[in-house]
Amino acid sequence: MRIVGGKHRSRPLYTPKDKNVRPTTDMMRESIFNIIQWEIKGAKFLDVFSGSGAMGIEAISRGAVSTFNDISKESIALIKKNLDYLKEKAEVYNQDYKTLFLRLKNHNKKFDFIFLDPPYGKFDLGDILEGIFFNDLLNDGGKVIYECPIEEKLPESKNFTLVDQRKYGKSKINFYQKKERIALLTGSFDPVTKGHISLAEKGLDYFDKVVFGILINPDKKYLFTLSEREKILEKAISTNPRFSYASHDGWAYELAKEVGAESFLRGYRNEKDLEYEKEMQEYNLQFGIHTLILPAQENLADLSSTNVRKKLEEGEDISQLLPENTVDLVKDIYSRK
């Protein structure tokens, strides 16, 4: 067994005497690192079931910072022997994976790649993935790489998506990434206000992205047309790449499914608002969609699109009610009506 790339290329590695330890083959290691070659330099790499340590050492050879773990003391000794032979240093743990994950979480450790090659048939991938997710061990954009027999049926995961799969002989390599958590914030946005943006910004503490859903009600009279509301909203959210918008002339739950949102994001300004939102929270559960209800920012509690429209009609100042970058646009559009 040899290192196949990087600064230690062609250097041999000590191999396990235990025939039950099954190192990833040179060919598979080369294939995996060819796939991630543009991401590996400087990356943090965790090998959870390290065995001989070949995967983590391959990562080190290519410029990564590796962390090793194995429950076997014999494997730990072998990993340290290979690291000493190459004059490399790394963190090496001797834990079961659940204890390891908790320990890493307690030390605020996160990784760009987490490699899983457990003994075939002895661990549940779904449990391992959930452990990675709930201990928050994977950096944004990071990947979990899982090696398993080609016939193994992969579990569904509510928090990870299978983004790539490669087959090599009797084995397959599976690449997972965290699913984006998306919330849908619905409204008429006639026009969008500072209150809407403030609520969406709070939502980013809980979700990866927030989608503003412009709902179209043919029985409702709007001050701004749909295209005008879209233009104003697009300007308002242009400075935050985690915001987007979509328009829909049907039910809110239909739009949620269309944009992949797992939850509605709602705000309340008073107790009456809160009671209504709680009722809607129960209603939306029948469609499998949760609702996060957050209080309005205190100094924006009295702000609404209705207030903005009223001030526009009375010729009053609206600059404190709207996102700063939309004030001139709203005034310009309104002046041409």
Tokens of 264: 């509605």
Tell me the pTM. 0.68
Mean of per-residue pLDDT scores for the chain: 93
* Residue 140 confidence (pLDDT): 87
Q: Does the structure show a pLDDT above 90 at 303?
A: no
What pLDDT, in 10s, does the model give residues 137-146?
999 889 999 9
The pLDDT tens digits of the residues spanning 114-137 come to: 999 998 878 899 999 999 999 999
In this model, does residue 240 exceed pLDDT 80?
A: yes
Token reading at 286: 């029948």
Model confidence band, residue 16 (pLDDT cutoffs 50, 70, 90):
confident
Q: Which residues of 196-235 are buried (b: 16+ CB within 10 A; e: fewer)?
A: bbbbbebbeeebebbbbbbbeeeeeebbbeeebbbbbbbb
221: tokens are: 């009279």
Buried b (16+ CB within 10 A) or exposed e, 153-167: eeeebeebeeeeeee
Note the pLDDT of residue 161.
Answer: 92
Instruction: Average the pLDDT over each of 183-187, 202-206, 298-302 and give the range with the smallest value.
Output: 298-302
Tell me the H-state helices in 183-320: 194-203, 226-236, 252-259, 271-285, 305-314
Q: Is the pLDDT of residue 23 over 80?
A: no
> Cα separation of 307 and 72, whole Å?
67
pLDDT tops 80 at residue 19: no
For residue 177, the cross-strand partners are 161
20-29, 37-46, 178-187: which range is least confident on average?
20-29
Q: Using N-to-C axis directions, what is the helix angle for 125-134 and 97-106, rounded to 10°?
A: 10
Please, what sign has the CA dihedral across residues 131, 123, 181, 257? negative
- Residue 72 pLDDT level (bands cut at 50, 70, 90): very high
- Asked if 243 contacts 210 with a C-beta cutoff of 8 angstroms, the reply is yes
H or E segment and range at residue 29:
helix 26-35
Confidence check: pLDDT of 283 > 90: yes
What average pLDDT does this structure show over 77-86? 96
For residue 312, how far is the Cα from the chain centroid? Answer: 40
Average pLDDT (185-214) is 96
SS (H, E, C) 54-112: HHHHHHHHCCCEEEEECCCHHHHHHHHHHHHHCCCCCEEECCCHHHHHHHHHHCCCCEE
Cα gap 65→54, rounded to integer Å: 14
Residue 18 binned pLDDT confidence (cut-offs 50, 70, 90): low
Burial class from Cβ neighbours inside 10 Å (0-12, 13-18, 19+) for residue 97 reads buried
3-state helix, strand, coil in the chain (%, to 5): 35, 25, 40
Q: How many Å apart are CA 53 and CA 75, to the nearest integer?
A: 8
CA separation (Å) from 142 to 39, 46, 50? Answer: 10, 11, 19
- Exposure string of 262-294, with b = 16+ CB inside 10 Å and e = fewer, is bbbbbbbbeeebeeebeeebeebeeeebebbeb
| Contact in structure between 145 and 175 (CB atoms under 8 Å) | yes
Angle at the Cα of 297 from the Cα atoms of 294 and 303, rounded to 5 degrees:
105
End-to-end Cα spacing for the chain = 76
pLDDT > 70: percent of the chain: 98
What's the token pair of residue 81? Answer: 């022997």
In the structure, what pLDDT confidence band is assigned to residue 20 with cuts at 50, 70 and 90? low
Beta strands in 151-260 (DSSP E): 160-168, 171-178, 182-187, 209-215, 243-248
Q: Residue 238 has which token pair?
A: 């242009």
Tokens of 162: 């299978």
